Structure 1
């Protein structure tokens, strides 16, 4: 008997798991007339574990043919009895199929958007409708539109959950406002473009991914501060700079080398953006004091794990050997301290001549004693990590992991 799927509209499917990557995605398929099930499942090809070898082997082709071939109701009943777990694939996608009732099947495939989108598109092209029969969003004329409407609700839920969890950890009014804005700006539509990548223009999807990926670092630091490390030789004024920025004495200040032995951190906000300023032990060749030597090792570790490195110096000649051993991060600035003690012409040309390793690094002259140059230093730090400031209309990927962005 030949069944006209278009006229009966008896086969439907729905995605039971939320969009985005995961271990397993589940798609439920139902039909009202059992005779339509073979057509609904026509793209399945079944395999089963080989009892002797322990590997997957194809089911003999009695009643079950490869993809795109008709399968009888009797063949389905013999292979897919109620509750039986069947291994197989949908075109190139590995999956597991379970018959949960006389007219209902569950397909369990790889989590993520690619496998689910491919299977759903195949079902739609075969005339299978999406959603429950009573769902108003389902339309025979526009099944793809109903699919988008249901997925949009799931995407909005994911974004709202991300916003709710992140705003609780916001460190400034500005970052809190940007987080809250993601629930109402274009982020959901951008994520829908990625989610429906198989049905969208490749260039459009790539452009959306690149745009969101470009804001990934900013999105990550809406709740986590950027790390700014002050490193340099002993007794160049790193701790004094930290104290001036913090507005309180968090670091011990002394003219004796080796005073700072532990990592000292202080959190602050610069133009609405969160930063963690880190004071380190002076970098110099091995110390006889084991505790001080440990502090120097921690300083090297801190410089390798920071977002911004401020190399503090009051004499460029002391820097050459240390810099040759360090891999400078992308955002590195030379902070020339104690500028109040020297003439302006004394700390530009000699600096570059004495230390070729500093060639090309920006230089900011400051004084921890008077505060001169500190506003310029903080402005440079902010611009280094946020060269283009977002506003509330900017889509920031606050749920990048769920949609494989970056």
Structure 2
């Protein structure tokens, strides 16, 4: 039976006691709200569908995010990136609210606020994390009564798909200090040559060439170990990738040259340790973190662009606005995929790049119209 009693001059407390169920109580501002709540709880208990809401009402979004970070996110491959999203979500006003009080309208308002400051893809990643937090709370943390308000909200459509490819050498025919070997590799490598020249890191140039030759991800290159590189078979084995599936990457002659270069660098520095078979023990090929690769690349691109502008000024020539602008390290994977697509059919290319879905592969394949036109003749 339900009982309603007044608590102080402005509040009403409803209590529901029924055999076989724990006692339930809640305080409201009006007597009508208290009676409506008690009637709903009694009805659910009579029909056998009542589920406790106490934990969902007592746990704030902030607390749920902290638990999610500790129990779920920490076990993911992208834990570092997700930690940044969790930190952002914990700072919003909505994080102080109990999970059970958050409605779709609250999430929609938050989505609109984010869209005024961030790109749709960024907002979508944040909403996806919040949605997963609610689902985990409902499925694994004993909050069965909790519903996911993010599922009912319209999601922004990402419109920042990149199609950036390397600019041909004729855009900067006089600036790159290239040797005969580099000129043989084609005019489209001019940007990489300039970045390599401007880089102050001995590791960045070979890392860039390896990315351009193999379409490997930044994290895969940083984690690559000598024990997984077979120069004789010309294969690099990746035991742990972003999508959780191991794969073997074929190595071109230029990629083999990169590994030979890194061997010489290690041997000359005395950092290489050999076992009884005189083979390199398990160690990373490139002693650098993924985030450091990105920072080194960005600095090198900035220096290379400044050098290019200076040389164009001295030569009284208009600089190409595309050359060494809006270029990211991940664009090398786009470029490599587009080049490999002219050699391998789709089913073989997916094995090289590691894409499980051909539709995702198409996001990385950006053929030049002039190249397609040549095939018509």
Shorter-chain TM-score: which interval? under 0.3
| Structure (1/2) with the larger strand percentage | 1
TM-score by length of structure 1 reads 0.26
TM-score by length of structure 2 reads 0.28
| Structure (1/2) with the larger helix percentage | 2
